[in-house]
Amino acid sequence: MLVANHTSMLDIMLMLIVSRNPFVFVGKKELVKIPLFGFFYKRVCIMVDRDNTQSRTAVYRRAQKRLQQGLSICIFPEGGVPEEHVLLDKFKDGAFKMAIAHKIPVVPMTFYDNKQRFSFTFFSGGPGKCRARVHSFVETHSIRPEDTAELRNNVRETILKDLTANG
């Protein structure tokens, strides 16, 4: 389960560069509406309607199928891009519940510069490096579903400390 902070459209491209294993994204279905991007997005993504319980449940089945095919899963646990002034938003449980349910490790990643390169504010950003760090894997074999919040908070804290120290 690949998880990283989400600050920019560059995050998707950087994830493709940083990850050594093939993976699929889990992402919100609303992004299909974006011209051109949506065309490719719906072909490489497990889409979820966050307002629909059945859709959220179906993600687990589709993720299991992809995991059996040897693919990793990538989720940006903030559930969207936070406002410009927010360094790291709260994490949602989905990625961590899924990692525990499927007994797969969580791979925290920190993306440092993407907001400065190409944020969601129109005509913002500029050229420069896009740095990333892949942290130590967090095994989930011995983690119980009732410990989801602790796993989520520990992974968020890892990324937040790194952003604060090196961002």
Q: Which residues of the chain, if any, have pLDDT below 50? A: none
- Map out the domains of the chain as residue ranges: 2-166
Class of domain 2-166: alpha beta
The predicted structure's pLDDT at residue 122: 66
Let me know if 69 is exposed, middle or buried by CB neighbors in 10 A (0-12, 13-18, 19+): exposed
The predicted structure's pLDDT at residue 102: 93
Question: Which amino acid is located at 75 in the chain?
Answer: I
Q: How far is CA 161 from CA 15, 22, 89, 110, 135, in A?
A: 20, 28, 13, 10, 12
β-pairing, 132-134 vs 107-111, is antiparallel
Contact (Cβ atoms closer than 8 angstroms) between residue 162 and residue 135 = yes
